[in-house]
Structure 1
Amino acid sequence: MDENAVVTLDIGGCTTTTTTTAPTSLFYHGRHVQYIEKLSVALNSTKSYEGAVTEHLRMSGIYWTYAALSLLVSPGQADSILGVHCCSRPSNDEKTDQDYRPSIVEWVYRCFDERSGGFGGNIGHDGHLLYTLSAVQILAMANTEISQEKREAVIQFVISLQQQDGSFSGDQWGEIDTRFTYCALCTLSLLKALDRVDVSQAVEYIASCQNLDGGFGSMKGAESHAGQVFCCVGALSIAKSLHKIKHPDLLGWWLAERQVDSGGLNGRPEKQADVCYSWWILSVMTIIGRVDWISKDKLASFIAKAQDPEDGGIADRPEDMPDVFHTFFGIAGLSLLDVEVSHIGCSSKRQLAIVSNGINGKFVVADVAKATKDCGCILHTTSDALASQCRAMPILAAQVNEIQSTEEAHARKKEGVTIAIGGSHRGYTEFLAPFTDGIIANQFLHGFWLFPVMMSADLLSKDT
């Protein structure tokens, strides 16, 4: 095999090539879409194997499915394929009400736990922070308003779980984990209620969980783990407290050490590589500006080899069976590696991606045509500090401009620049529709969100 091989990407009918040191690989876009479509049916069936083994975490399973498909196709297609807003009932008159399949949005609301105020992993389950975040994320992606009453109930649920030291338990039973602090802050941020908890105390607790090796653990003194690193750095980013990371170079070194000979990344020393860490680790390294400390070509090759070329889907590692969890995080990881995973964005035109925070009327624009080989991307922002971070990132090394009005956006469009929304959220499409030409759904937008479309918290309450 020529070490300067050409990777061919099948992108919904469009093809593109790029020179890389990785072996020749094909991204099976169409098969992945079909895999997710079939899996969505299986996950909703109590008679299927997939439905049985994921019964306790169905909420997160739905989120992974919805998010993965939203990376591959347009928002409208994803909503239609999964039945996000529309229920389904077999046309056969002999079928009973048991065959009725609610829409995803309807199902999510059925999982609301009136007693606790949170969302459970399935209908009738107790509320938990993990599934509350997944539920809020699903509703955000579906552009669904949460009633003021339920919004306040969720906020009170999160507030009730903060401990005196700033940490959060996952539910009423008191287990403490830095994952839950991330879930709490992310949920409240989406609901525009971050000021309802003691953020400064939460930040201090997270900072205290950083270890001497640079990584973060599930609690003070716990072993460093890549998944916990993502949650801790993500929580600090949401709280605008990335300066609390002690020795970012040491953290970057610990993360870079997670790459093994196969090209994949593991979660801690002496463990096997796993596709899901492509997202957990790459997103953090992008946030702290050390993404070039690993071999991106080798990692892309590892993920590509973990695909199922016949039935679609991505496994935890090559030769294993695919599942929706690793399919989502594998696709998300590839998007951070600048691999086109969507059928959108095959244009050879110079592109400019814009995303609005929907709050202060400003748009942050990154002109990255040269830096990303004529495929633009954008980092969502709500502060000057984040804009500075955007400018500092290698992928955004080109000029970054702030557009103060839609008139300026129109002017840029007249200059011949193709303007596209960076993200797959329908809310952005509606907000920026007057001067946009399309959507780029596969680019990395903001490190501290689990997925790029999680950013429009303003869509989640009627009174905002």
Structure 2
Amino acid sequence: MMVGGDICNKLWVVLGLRKLSGGFSGNIGHDPHIMYTLSAIQVLALFDKIDVLDIDKISNYIVGLQNEDGSFSGDMWGEVDTRFSYIAISSLALLRQLDKIDMEKAVQYILSCKNVDGGFGCTPGAESHAGQIFCCVGALAITGSLHHVDKDLLGWWLCERQVKSGGLNGRPEKLPDDRENGGISDRPEDAVDVFHTYFGVAGLSLLEYPGLKPIDPAYALPVNVVNRIIFKK
């Protein structure tokens, strides 16, 4: 696919953050991390340029972060979080390399983080949080394991996140945040930023706001991009 000069420059910025390990860093001089590796894959996926990546090297980097219990570390320093499980699974699926990890252990670890309220935490025994729920449900969806989710119980917990203002919080007794309600800044009167704008637009797309492309809720990418990569449509 031909790309314009401005887009080409942006892609080179992303590719300039590649590390010898196969992972990507968040900025020049930083260590590689699984989060930024997914971000790089997503950017290249949006521009239909995944083919410029060393897929084997990147996938091997991600596979090397899986722990014996099925969890994933974010980087060489070993922090474990269900966010990283989602990121690893999503990244490998986009690279069509999902069979490289121990899928059964990965799913079982995520399920070990499920709570009696139907939600999921960052590690086993941690409180349920909407952010972790997105990651865990997304990972289970990608791996074909959604049958493990108690949809009614989890749906009720999520419905209870809505507060009087109409916004939603991530967990009980917290302020609403646009990552859950589809705003552009995190809260009314707060400054706009790229991070919350992304989640705001994604939320509006899921609510079928006019003029927006449909987004795949598991991959957090436009449906046409996911169809092109995953389903070859």
TM-score (norm 1): 0.47
Percent identity, aligned pairs only? 52
DSSP 3-state at the match of 1:260: coil
Q: Which amino acid aligns with 1:144?
A: K
> 2:96 is matched with which residue?
192
Gaps of 5+ in 2: none
Contact 1:185 1:194 in 2 (8 A): yes
Match status 1:110 vs 2:23? no
Q: Which amino acid aligns with 1:207?
A: L
> 2:204 is matched with which residue?
334
> 1:83 is matched with which residue?
6
> 2:38 is matched with which residue?
133
Q: Distance in 2 between the 1:160 and 1:209 partners? A: 22
Task: Give 1:278 deviation, angstroms.
Answer: 2.6
2:176 to 259, 265, 273: 273
Q: Distance in 2 between the 1:187 and 1:145 partners? A: 11
2:229 to 444, 452, 457: 457
Gaps of 5+ in 1: 1-75, 86-102, 280-302, 304-313, 343-440
1:442 to 203, 213, 216: 213
Change (3 A) 1:106 1:273: same
In terms of fraction of residues, the more strand-rich structure is: 1
Q: Distance in 1 between the 2:96 and 2:175 partners? A: 39
Pairs aligned (count): 229
Q: Distance in 2 between the 1:254 and 1:262 partners? A: 18
Contact 2:41 2:50 in 1 (8 A): no
Superposition pairs of residues 85-104 of structure 1, within 5 angstroms: 85=8, 103-104=9-10
DSSP 3-state at the match of 2:136: helix
For the aligned residue pairs, the C-alpha RMSD in angstroms reads 2.1
Q: Distance in 2 between the 1:236 and 1:459 partners? A: 18
Change (3 A) 1:215 1:158: same
Contact 1:189 1:457 in 2 (8 A): no
DSSP 3-state at the match of 1:146: helix
Superposition pairs of residues 157-306 of structure 1, within 5 angstroms: 157-245=61-149, 247-278=150-181, 303=183
Task: Give 1:332 deviation, angstroms.
Answer: 1.4
Q: Distance in 2 between the 1:263 and 1:136 partners? A: 34
Larger Rg: 1
Q: Distance in 2 between the 1:442 and 1:147 partners? A: 26
Q: Which amino acid aligns with 1:253?
A: W
Task: Give 1:321 deviation, angstroms.
Answer: 1.2
Task: Give 1:325 deviation, angstroms.
Answer: 1.2
Higher relative contact order (CA 8 A, sep 6+): 1
Change (3 A) 1:210 1:226: same
Contact 1:128 1:171 in 2 (8 A): yes
Task: Give 1:447 deviation, angstroms.
Answer: 2.3
Match status 1:119 vs 2:24? yes
Contact 1:209 1:216 in 2 (8 A): yes
